[in-house]
Chain A
Amino acid sequence: MDTYILAIESSCDETSMAIVKNGCIDVATVVFSQMTTHANYGGVVPEIASRMHVESITIVLDELLTKANLKMDDITAIAVTYGPGLIGSLLIGLTAAKTLAYIYNKPLIPVHHIAGHIYANNLTKKMEFPLIALVVSGGHTELIYMKEHYSFEKIGGTLDDAVGEAYDKVARVLNLSYPGGPIIDKLAKQGQDVYNLPIPLNDDSFNFSFSGLKSAVINLKHNEEQRGNKVDTANLACSFQNRVISSLTKKTIKALKTYHVQNLIIAGGVSANIGLREAMDKICRENNINLSYPEFKYCTDNATMIGAASYYAYKLGRRADLDLKAMATCKLN
């Protein structure tokens, strides 16, 4: 029998709901993004995000059921992101999910946001194990080893800023608009790697660090301007992006070799970065690694990926009660 899961994701500034069949087929997805509102403030304002989630919650649900042409009776279970994320934002999706589970008497499946990002890959191509997942977004930079479905072993992560966070901060210093990541990616293509920036945390661990690199960009711009020199934004974007990519590829390849793994998946918002994709493509070809990344539409936050992940959690018997807690930070397990 087919399993249809209605999934809800509201951990940051996207109100999203999706119906996913058997963990791999996107029956319908609705994403209500608040990005243009938060762009007025140069970043996500948590209280505004929470307010907008409540305002759109039933609009998104209505649009979803219409789009899917399904009734709640056709739904097997309700899945929801319980964390990590902005607590006020999480609470709206969580309350909606609990309410639906309660009134329709459906199982409630708790999903970790990062598990969702990883399983976004399953919507394009069935995941093969064992694998290493590199999760890169505005809030996360992690290397995760998966022996099989729904087994997550974190082997490394950022010690300070997440990679997407570093992109946004550097973009601000370079006077680029929000969100800055995609703009830096585009500028990097046009520029040349001429600035002397350090390779971040160039050591033997599987960890990352981007705050030093970010500070180096800020200092370089400041010092050049003090000397009356104009900084070439495209060249600086290119130099910055090259250091980031070099750190990510180096640690990822090392993890694949150490764990004797042939499958690599990249996930999270920054997995949409073209420079990163090209570099990973190249290095994976050279090392005979089977690489996959999500379709662009599944890179940023969406409920489809939560629906994909929840199917495997559901099969393992994972259920939550109506007292499920929202968590700003929580371990992936």
Chain B
Amino acid sequence: MTSLFLDTSSITYTIAIIKDDKIIYHQTGDSLNKLSDIILTEIDVAFKSINLDIKDIDRIYLVNGPGSFTGIRIGLTFAKIVAYSLKKELVLLSKLEMLSCLKEENKIIVPVIDARRGYVYGAIYDNKGNQLLKDQYIKLDELKVKANNYNDTIYVSEQPIEGVKSIRPNYDLISLIKRHNEVVSNIHTCKPNYLKKTEAEEKNDKKNK
């Protein structure tokens, strides 16, 4: 089986092509807010460099958030069009789980993504990918209190976050994708996992309370 792995949910994007549990292509880079300009070209380069065509893949693993709203949307739009048009399988992954899926780490892992104004997207995972606290939009201080219930925790984030001592991730992609076989049953209705409503919706909710 050949799969395309795509993460466009943060400034650092990842494109990988995996064949029978082996990574045969891996590329990460900083998109510097130009993700939409470069991502298709980078995907094209990826397939050409290993003499494959996107039609040759069986499955797409897409990191579907949380993270940059625009980034996730670009990734999911690409994935939905490919999966629909070429009849490929689509498997959606959590960025927080990806952050927690580290090489050689035997601790309780607290993945965090900055969501500004004292908030983060966070969760708590053990080293086998079991969710001890589900992915959520949460005040950093509150997450810290919850994480204090566990011994030997380690925070992981791609970008430094004020008020947290964290390590940068060293992803174990193969372990991550091996855990997941849940193919999206209806491509049309799948949505990004923002974990947060828009400000306009939040304001409306408050008004209607």
Taking beta carbons and an 8 Å cutoff, which residues of A are in contact with B? 40-41, 45, 47-48, 50-51, 53-55, 57-59, 61-62, 72, 88, 91-92, 94-96, 98-100, 102-104, 321-326
Contact = CB atoms under 8 A, between A and B. Distances in A.
Name the 9 nearest CB pairs between A and B, nearest first.
Answer: A322-B40, A99-B81, A95-B77, A47-B198, A45-B200, A58-B84, A98-B40, A322-B41, A59-B188
Interface residues of B, number: 34
Given A55-B191, A61-B84, A91-B74, 20 more contacts: A47-B69, A48-B198, A51-B191, A51-B194, A54-B77, A58-B81, A58-B187, A59-B188, A61-B85, A72-B85, A88-B70, A88-B73, A94-B36, A96-B77, A96-B81, A98-B40, A99-B40, A99-B78, A99-B82, A102-B43
Contacts of B39: 95
Q: Please classify the interface of chain A as helix (H, G, I), strand (E, B), loop, or mixed, using the class held by over half of its residues.
A: helix
B207 to A, nearest CB: 11
B80 interface: yes
Contact of B76 (A41, A54, A326): A54
Contacts of B192: 51, 54
Contacts of A94: 36
Interface of B: 36-41, 43-44, 54-55, 69-70, 73-74, 76-78, 80-82, 84-86, 187-189, 191-192, 194, 198-201, 204
Contact of A54 (B40, B73, B82, B84): B73
A92 B77 contact: yes
B170 to A, nearest CB: 29
Nearest to B79: A99
A219 to B, nearest CB: 29
A102 B82 CA distance: 10
B36 A100 contact: no
Contacts of B77: 54, 57, 91-92, 95-96, 99
B41 A321 contact: yes
A209 B194 CA distance: 40
A100 B198 contact: no
A109 to B, nearest CB: 15
B69 A95 contact: no
Contacts of B80: 54, 57-58
Q: Determine which residue in A47, A96, A100 has the highest number of CB atoms from chain B within 10 A of its CB, and name it.
A: A47
B37 A62 contact: no
